[in-house]
């Protein structure tokens, strides 16, 4: 995402199942943007195109008329903004999370904003982040003419079992503990089997299992404890992804385990904070 915006690739599409870390990556992107990049983060994709443009104007610090403007007036002002960015060599990046919820008409309007023939549009970057349904929507005949404008497509896959185990170990290492001190191998396998590589589910399940282990005064989290935790979190059971092989990324790359784990280290910290509290209580005993 960072390299796509830096290289002014144009339109970038990132997809993944719920809980794999898409929004975490977006926030990391917003934090790491360069001084020459102006970013508008759209957090309500259910708006119409006029509402989306007003959202973009507010995010960019541009004035919004009190009585509102019609769509044509907003489009003209947005074009002018792009032309000014062109003169100053500034990139304007529009980031839309949960983009699968965009109405097709709105999505088509966003694609038209990036028309190559318009001055300054080479400095406009549109990043669409959403569930696999977004890929299916873009694969429809309606967007055939716009597909060539999508410079980068990537799908974030769940962790493999090895990556999932490394992820749990990494989070434990942050609070000075080793995975072999806290979880039995059978307990880890049970967690990975239920979570199916979903980092959010791994966090919540580990957190619940640790709380149960503390309440039961158990020295380690084993398969029985994890099974108890799963009963409490059955609603989180991850189903098999429905991603079609025909919709995979044009630029298919496999991220190194260390990089993927590093990104997820910036998550909300539910698992990490709970670990620290529980370890503190255990040490006091």
CATH, residue 217: 1.10.8
Tell me if 256 is assigned to some domain. no
* Per-residue pLDDT of the chain in tens (285 residues, 90 and over written 9): 888 888 888 899 999 999 998 988 888 888 877 678 888 899 888 889 999 999 999 998 888 876 767 888 888 888 888 888 888 888 899 999 999 999 999 999 998 888 766 666 778 899 999 999 999 899 888 888 888 888 899 999 999 999 999 999 999 999 999 999 999 999 999 999 999 999 999 999 999 999 999 999 999 999 999 999 999 999 888 666 554 433 334 444 444 444 444 445 444 444 545 555 554 554 444
| Domain count of the fold of the chain | 2
- Residue 141's domain comprises 2-156
Rg value, the chain, Cα: 22
Within a domain: 249: no
Under 8 Å between Cβ of 17 and 154? no
8 with 132, same domain: the answer is yes
Q: What is the pLDDT of residue 82?
A: 87
List CB contacts of 107: < 8 A, sequence separation 6 or more. 99, 137, 138, 143
Q: Is the dihedral of CA 61, 65, 67, 73 positive or negative?
A: negative
Domain boundary among 121, 140, 156: 156
Residues 170 and 149 in one domain: no
What is the value of pTM for the model shown? 0.77
User: 148 and 91: one domain?
Assistant: yes
C-beta neighbour count of 17 within 10 angstroms: 22
**Pair (184, 198) in one structural domain:** yes
Tell me the CATH number at 52. 3.40.50.300
**Predicted confidence (pLDDT) per residue in 209-260, tens digit:** 999 999 999 999 999 999 999 999 998 886 665 544 333 344 444 444 444 4
Q: Are strands 37-42 and 124-130 parallel, antiparallel or unpaired?
A: unpaired
114 shares its domain with 198:
no
Q: How far apart are the first and last CA of the chain?
A: 47
59 in the same domain as 167: no
Query: What share of residues in the chain are helix, strand, coil (percent, to 5)?
Result: 55, 10, 30
In this structure, the answer to whether residues 9 and 70 fall within a common structural domain is yes
Last residue of a domain, one of 110, 137, 156: 156
Does 278 lie in the same domain as 142?
no
Residues 110 and 199 in one domain: no
The 10s digit of each residue's pLDDT in 262-272 is: 445 444 444 54
130 and 152 within one domain: yes
Tokens representing residue 2 in the block: 């960072």
113 lies in the same domain as 233: no
Measured distance CA(261)–CA(282) in Å, rounded: 27
């Amino acid at each position: 995402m960072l390299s796509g915006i830096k290289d002014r690739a144009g339109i970038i599409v990132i997809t993944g199942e719920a809980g794999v870390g898409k929004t975490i990556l977006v926030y990391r992107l917003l934090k790491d943007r360069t001084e020459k990049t102006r970013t508008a983060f759209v957090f309500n994709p259910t708006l119409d195109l006029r509402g989306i443009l007003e959202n973009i104007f507010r995010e960019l610090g541009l004035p919004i008329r009190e009585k509102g403007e019609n769509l044509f007036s907003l489009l003209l002002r947005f074009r002018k903004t792009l032309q000014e960015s062109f003169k100053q060599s500034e990139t304007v990046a529009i980031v839309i999370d949960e983009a699968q919820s965009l109405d097709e008409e709105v999505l088509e309007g966003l694609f038209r904003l990036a028309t190559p023939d318009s001055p300054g549009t080479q400095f406009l970057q549109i990043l669409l982040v959403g569930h696999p349904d977004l890929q299916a929507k873009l694969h429809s005949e309606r967007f055939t003419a716009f597909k060539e404008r999508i410079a980068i497509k990537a799908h974030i896959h769940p962790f493999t079992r090895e990556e999932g185990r490394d992820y749990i170990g990494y989070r434990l290492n942050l609070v000075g503990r080793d995975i072999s001190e806290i979880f039995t191998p059978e307990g880890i396998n049970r967690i990975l089997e239920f979570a199916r590589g979903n980092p959010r589910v791994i966090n919540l399940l580990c957190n619940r299992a640790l709380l149960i282990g503390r309440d039961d005064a158990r020295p380690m989290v084993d398969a029985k404890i994890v099974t108890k935790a799963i009963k409490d979190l059955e609603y989180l059971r991850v189903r098999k992804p429905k991603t079609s092989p025909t919709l995979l990324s044009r630029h298919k790359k496999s991220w190194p385990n260390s990089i993927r784990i590093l990104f997820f280290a910036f998550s909300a910290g539910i698992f990490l904070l709970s670990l620290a509290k529980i370890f503190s209580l255990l040490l006091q005993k």
